Structure 1
């Protein structure tokens, strides 16, 4: 069965919430979303650890991490740096991908984190997709979301939940990824 891998690392649960919303968008397009993590060390994580097979057999990838000084978290970075075998085999070439992140402040480096996650995907030959400005939530959000990818800002009333705009942007990102994966697979 064809599936899209939603791979993330989450320390406090915010990135996990984005991953689950993206998975809902994928599944709304009648594709399986296989949600995996690189670490289960935190109690908020209830997903399996990613395997090489998960990565090699997916038809698309959503990659997410919390923002750490404008970069992806080291656990996700370490995982990506250990994908040389997949890179040599070209298993991710020509597959679509999106990136997503969360941070604890509005100007905490979300866009640079999204770009840092995009770099290894480009080396793998993946086809990156962002969020087009036709998404009305990009024009109205006062929390997370950018043309580079879905995001969440952990602040004020949104400390423990995604804002409506963040939910919609993450869901639509998943839908878009699923549609691209289906078209490319055809």
Structure 2
């Protein structure tokens, strides 16, 4: 999949979140977006994921706009730093729901990661700590096996050991399927 960004601009009222951004990602690999809070990283990822429209310009994935495009949205998994899951749902229901949405879902990997991060499958999202909720996002993102997997600050709330484990697993997954998958991650400076 090739990602082309052409003159991408996004405004919120008079505030520019993205201003005429252009670049191409034509090689599947791990990309990092580095910037301050408010630099437009999350806005960019939401447009790439088809969640928001640009004010002007465009993002094309394999020459298609991701907005309102089911074929592409099944190929793009965005895990934000917060509010990914309905608070009343249990962990096991989240996993089941996402397995229906992503045709490339890896149930064995999801189960393995549930054990690695020691999540209770019967816990409701609202009962999870911030770190456990971040771990659930990591599990969903990696198990989706989506060709474009985007993590927006996935390490928020994770302790040092859990962060290290995330990066180890991310590298293992990338090495296992590096020929056709993008991983995009954000970092605040």
Q: TM-score, normalised by structure 2?
A: 0.34
Instruction: Select the structure that is richer in strand.
Output: 2
Instruction: Select the structure that is richer in helix.
Output: 1
Q: TM-score, normalised by structure 1?
A: 0.35
